[in-house]
Homo-oligomer: A and B are copies of this chain.
Amino acid sequence: MAKPLILVTNDDGITAPGVRTLIHIMKKIGDVIVVAPDSPQSGMGHAITLDSTLYAEKLTIDEESEGIVEYSCSGTPADCVKLALQELMERKPDICVSGINHGSNSSINVIYSGTMSAAIEAGIEGIPAIGFSLCDYKWEADFSQAKEYVQTIVEQALQHGIPKGTVLNVNIPKLTKDELKGIKVCRQARANWKEKFDKRKNPMGKDYYWLTGEFELLDQGEDTDEWALANGYISVVPTQFDLTAHHAVQELNSWNF
């Protein structure tokens, strides 16, 4: 069988250790092309660049990636995928992988996630796609312990295909290789952020705010991604972009329009 063609992207920027790790794992599985943002895009959600120009610069980042075609792109993660598919790649990739994100994209974080928006963008275009995140925000986070799991998940996705209309949201707990217990398929836990804004005055005396907050888990289920992560498992959530709450259609039809 021909080697699979793998599109790699992320939201922390093309030089982030997380994406470099992902590239090196993907090299073992197939032919790799990288199209990733030229600067960090965390919290960008599914933003796209509608009213500005996009640049894409071919470059080489490190020796280990020699021979891999890499583009640094001025846009958001979703822009990177669009540009890769329409302009930079000669054929559709067999799979698109995004990450490994520096920080969790479990539960409600999926909504804000640039990592997942890239995967979702590929999914909308009919390409199997997976977003990977490590629950460690640090730039110097240790991505080595999960290498084999990441490889297994991508190989299984290539073998089985990802269910239609879904992409996978994979989160890896911050644990050593020995502590990791395996992989669990989960649902997205119900949670939100209890926002707190840190209100300050700028040197000109004007108020401004920094967004801070605390994660609040509102879900006691043992079938959720948060449960899996807290109990030593890598979580895999099938994530869809049909946002219809089908169960609510009937109720709304009783309204008096």
Contacts and interface: CB of A to CB of B under 8 A. Distances in A.
B242 A238 contact: no
Q: How many copies does the complex hold?
A: 2
Contacts of A241: 108, 111, 243
Given A45-B44, A238-B249, A240-B245, A82 B185 contact: no
A183 B257 contact: yes
Nearest to A223: B249
Given A156-B255, A163-B251, A210 B240 contact: no
Given A244-B187, A244-B237, A245-B240, A124 B192 contact: yes
A220 interface: no
Interface in A196-213: 196-197, 199, 202, 206-211
A144 interface: no
Interface stretch (A24-32, A48-56, A92-100): A48-56
Interface in A83-102: 83, 85-87
Contacts of A43: 47-51
A27 B55 CA distance: 45
A211 B163 contact: no
A190 B246 CA distance: 14
Contacts of A257: 152-153, 156, 182-183
A243 B45 contact: no
A9 interface: no
Interface string A116-140: 0100100011000000000000000
Nearest to A256: B156
Contact of A245 (B86, B166, B245, B256): B166
A160 interface: yes
Contacts of A46: 45-46, 111-112
Contacts of A53: 202, 208-210
A47 B50 contact: no
Nearest to A247: B163
Interface string A221-257: 0000000000000001111111111111101111111
A42 interface: yes
A238 B211 contact: no
Given A209-B56, A255-B160, A197 B83 contact: yes
Contacts of A83: 197, 209
